[in-house]
A and B are shown apart, each in its own frame.
Chain A
Amino acid sequence: MQQREIHDFLVTFFKANDCEILDNAPTHLTVQLTIEMDKELMNRPFYWHYLEKTGGVPNPAQITFITDPEQAPSDLKGEMIHFGSPRLHQIIQSTKKLAGYTRLFENTPPSKGRNNPLFPWLTLNVKISYQCDRKKDTFMSIGLNLISGEIMEGFHHRVLPINVTPKIPDYSFTLSPLIMPKSGLARLDTYIRTSFEDDDHSWAEEAMLRWQNDLNLLEHFYKDMDEKSESYYTEKEALKAQYEPNIRISIINGGLFYLSDRALG
């Protein structure tokens, strides 16, 4: 991820959280935090607790992020921020926490005095991780039409260009779902699990081989011992933790989108 993208990410993040951008230079960024953002990011609960008890005037912090340390003025004080910096990851976590669930409506212009019907789509953005002693991830975004039952992959990138709004627009109305959200979630879950069934899982087979190999060595090491020592069982547990193949599905976020029948083309 480029420094420029990180810079833009920060600007969008703070604007979306109603924080005033005091200085937006190509090399750095100064932000006035709101009280909520200060509590979220600055990790100073005692200060806020104290203020609330004494009724003092809150003074949320300002932060300067330096995104281009080479070009930034040398006397500038601020936090260097890059792909690996803990602060960036804190903000990413915060983003996920604040935007785990959404519900949005397509903002359709009224056409010929007719009311626009909007179809309910249930969507999930997930990360699927193949994990043994090594790990890799794939991203998957799917949407389920709660009326027709149609399932669409790459859903997130299809919604991106659509103009959406948190309030239902005038002259639009939502169609009631035929599939209830709960069973909708179950359908998506089944779909996700089926999606990787036919994948190449030689990674897991190889991990099992490595595991078996180390297990054989372990047995050999302790074979002269009639009563196995504690460390034998610990080692055995450790090998399981190290090698056992596992597929982990984690939800990044998701929600409901009400879209016109033309929206997804």
Chain B
Amino acid sequence: MKINISFNSEWNDEFLQKMENDGPWGNWELYKLAVQMEENLIIPDFEGLQAPKHLPQLTPLPHQLEAAKQVVEKMNGKAILADEVGLGKTIEAGLILKEYMIRGLVKKVLILVPASLVTQWAFELNTKFHIPAVVQRKSYVWDSCDVVISSIDTAKRAPHRDIIFTQEYDFIIIDEAHKLKNNKTKNYEFVQNLKKKFCLLLTATPIQNKVEEIFHLVSLLKPGHLGNASLFSEKYKGKGRNIIEDEHLKELVNTVMIRNRRADTGIEWTKRHVETITIEFSPTEQALYDAVSKFKPISDGSKGSAFSALTLQREACSSREAVFYTLKNMRDKYDQPSPDFLAKLDDLFTKVNETVQNSKAEKALELIKKIDDKVIIFTEYRATQLYLQWYLQQNGISSVPFRGGFKRGKKDWMRELFQKNIQVLIATEAGGEGINLQFCHHLINFDLPWNPMRLEQRIGRIHRLGQEEDVMIYNFATKNTVEEHILKLLYEKINLFEKVIGELDDILTKLDINNIEEYLIDVVGESKTEGEMKIKMDNFSSLIQFAQSMKEGEVHAATGNS
């Protein structure tokens, strides 16, 4: 067969020029070096990965290397990377990109990720992979930089959109690609119109609800692979998520998708040990708690009032400072508060002032001293965070604060301080884009979030790949308070703390519960009696247990098939 041959004649022209001018000629030593180095850079085989040789500081896990190899050798550089949460999809994507760059098949790269992950991607590609990725902040970056990271929301807007369409990209990566499951959106249309020579779509949840989602995702990558829209819907429509059991479809999808499950990776996860520590209020703390429990800022019995009473109760379980800030905000909210309201508030302020100790903080101090190692404390409230920092310092223990709102640089700095010099990190927000702290394995939940996902994210900061120790989790709960109810009725019942990262994510997605927190506020705040609350909570936790047992059944089926 006839194959195109390309040859650049520039060298010839310049050589003839030099013949005419009698030089200048290159040094023999350098001439030999150039050949020697080029011979070293020659890649004599189509197969195999070059990237690991170029990345001596990176130790990819076997399933990550396997994924990279498969994408390059079997999937022709177009794939959906759909590993479960926490297995390192970014590492896989980095390896694949690096491989193509080393082989000289890829130069111009576009990476589209959620806005909150843009700097983290840039950081990882630069430090772990030596790929000079640049965050798009100025419009000239599109033209002048080879590897550009941007949020899809920026990229699809003018003037960026038009500039992007004039670029010749060799490689496109899209993170959190499940957001493209709907083919009617602007984002979908934008990605569909990109020229995708090599392309990776990253998602932990390739199918959330409907089988059409996988059709749309695959069609972005490889149009026609699952047939065309009318044919597909004729065949599979209305069959729900179970369709993935369809062998034929499964096989087709698996030729473009890699999905490693935690159970298949053979990675030994360290254990989680959970200890609940019950704390008893001192008399003054009890008095404050009782006072806020009776407090009805607006006495019309509306949902809002249940909400603020609950908030105050939860805060009273954390610190008087947290209560104080909320009360102060309440007072400042009104231009002309009624004298009655003010009197009630003043009464509460007095109670705040009379509170002389924080029993939880004392317990935390005692525990930190006993652990004598790095500890992370999570609290829901900034006021508590500030108080704890002050309190620990009074007792000779240094700590650093951490908040989701910190700039990337500050986050990294705090993390480094904590890793190198400081015993305690006090954090208010775990956040999906938070930091990784696997060098620490003690975590105190000073107060509990009501959304189990948030708790999962907290634990996920330390219980992840790279953690070598068993993880110790201490849950603080104050006796005879809402906090204890939540802990007993929800968390302990569903064994949440022992679960492996990501499992809960799946379960909640299946149950289609978007806002657990709202649901719980409703249960706790609106129940007339303790008994009613208990029944509602029981119902909720058995629902979760049911979903969980379904999931386990599925895992067995999956391993049975393979």
What's the A-B contact tally at a CB cutoff of 8 Å?
206
* Cβ 8 A contact of A221, one of B7, B39, B46, B223: B223
Is B28's beta carbon under 8 Å from chain A? yes
B55 cross-chain contacts in A, Cβ below 8 A? 84
A137 and B76 contact, Cβ closer than 8 Å, known pairs A127-B38, A252-B38: no
A242 cross-chain contacts in B, Cβ below 8 A? 76-78, 197-198
Contact between chains at B42 and A253 (CB < 8 Å):
no
What's the interface size class on A, roughly? 35 or more
Is B246's beta carbon under 8 Å from chain A? no
Is A62's beta carbon under 8 Å from chain B? no
Chain B, 215-262, CB within 8 A of any chain A CB: 219, 222-225, 227-230
Q: Which of A98, A101, A166 has the most CB of B within 10 A?
A: A101
Q: Which of A21-29, A32-40, A43-51, A202-210 contacts B (4 or more CB under 8 A)?
A: A202-210
A92 cross-chain contacts in B, Cβ below 8 A? 34, 37-38, 41
Is B441's beta carbon under 8 Å from chain A? no
Q: Which of B16-24, B360-368, B520-528 contacts A (4 or more CB under 8 A)?
A: B16-24
Q: How far is the CB of B297 from chain A (nearest CB, A)?
A: 56
Contact between chains at A220 and B228 (CB < 8 Å):
yes
* Cβ 8 A contact of B1, one of A160, A201, A243, A246: A201
Q: Which of A52-60, A109-117, A222-230 contacts B (4 or more CB under 8 A)?
A: A222-230
Is A234's beta carbon under 8 Å from chain B? yes
Q: How far is the CB of B172 from chain A (nearest CB, A)?
A: 10
A231 cross-chain contacts in B, Cβ below 8 A? 192-193, 223
Q: How far is the CB of A179 from chain B (nearest CB, A)?
A: 13
Contact between chains at A86 and B130 (CB < 8 Å):
yes
A102 and B53 contact, Cβ closer than 8 Å, known pairs A242-B76, A254-B15: no
The secondary-structure label for the interface of chain B is mixed
Contact between chains at A134 and B36 (CB < 8 Å):
no
Cα–Cα, bound, A234→B3 (Å): 23
Is B4's beta carbon under 8 Å from chain A? yes
Cα–Cα, bound, A129→B44 (Å): 9
Contact between chains at B38 and A12 (CB < 8 Å):
no
Is B25's beta carbon under 8 Å from chain A? yes
Q: How far is the CB of A67 from chain B (nearest CB, A)?
A: 12
* Cβ 8 A contact of B40, one of A1, A82, A217: A1
Is B338's beta carbon under 8 Å from chain A? no
Contact between chains at B31 and A102 (CB < 8 Å):
yes
Is A191's beta carbon under 8 Å from chain B? no
Cα–Cα, bound, A82→B54 (Å): 7
Contact between chains at A17 and B30 (CB < 8 Å):
yes
Contact between chains at B46 and A203 (CB < 8 Å):
yes
A255 cross-chain contacts in B, Cβ below 8 A? 15, 25-26, 31
Q: How far is the CB of A158 from chain B (nearest CB, A)?
A: 13
Q: How far is the CB of B291 from chain A (nearest CB, A)?
A: 58
Chain A, 67-120, CB within 8 A of any chain B CB: 82-86, 92, 95-96, 98-104
Cα–Cα, bound, A115→B130 (Å): 55
B195 cross-chain contacts in A, Cβ below 8 A? 234-235, 237-238, 241
Contact between chains at A134 and B223 (CB < 8 Å):
no
A246 and B33 contact, Cβ closer than 8 Å, known pairs A103-B25, A137-B44: no
Cα–Cα, bound, A70→B37 (Å): 24
Contact between chains at B104 and A135 (CB < 8 Å):
yes
* Cβ 8 A contact of A135, one of B105, B223, B227: B105
Contact between chains at A164 and B28 (CB < 8 Å):
yes
A248 cross-chain contacts in B, Cβ below 8 A? 5-7
Contact between chains at A84 and B54 (CB < 8 Å):
yes
B4 cross-chain contacts in A, Cβ below 8 A? 244-247
Chain A, 249-264, CB within 8 A of any chain B CB: 249-256
Contact between chains at B43 and A181 (CB < 8 Å):
no
Cα–Cα, bound, A237→B15 (Å): 36
Is B268's beta carbon under 8 Å from chain A? no
Cα–Cα, bound, A5→B219 (Å): 47
A101 and B30 contact, Cβ closer than 8 Å, known pairs A218-B223, A241-B195, A247-B6: no
A205 cross-chain contacts in B, Cβ below 8 A? 1
Cα–Cα, bound, A217→B221 (Å): 12
Is B32's beta carbon under 8 Å from chain A? yes
A222 cross-chain contacts in B, Cβ below 8 A? 223-224, 228
Cα–Cα, bound, A125→B78 (Å): 34
Residues on A close to B: CB < 8 A? Answer: 1, 5, 9, 12-13, 15-17, 82-86, 92, 95-96, 98-104, 125, 127, 129-131, 133-139, 141, 156, 160, 164, 166, 181-182, 185, 189, 193, 201, 203-205, 208, 210, 214, 216-224, 230-231, 234-235, 237-238, 241-256
Other A-B contacts than A17-B30, A125-B38, A222-B224, 18 sampled, CB-CB below 8 A, are: A9-B36, A12-B33, A95-B30, A95-B33, A96-B34, A99-B26, A99-B27, A102-B27, A130-B46, A136-B45, A139-B39, A139-B42, A242-B77, A246-B5, A247-B5, A249-B5, A253-B35, A255-B15
Residues on B close to A: CB < 8 A? Answer: 1, 3-8, 11-12, 14-16, 18-19, 23, 25-46, 53-56, 72-73, 76-78, 103-105, 130, 132, 170, 192-198, 219, 222-225, 227-230
> 8 A-B contacts, Cβ less than 8 Å apart?
A16-B30, A84-B53, A135-B46, A139-B38, A185-B16, A214-B224, A250-B7, A255-B26
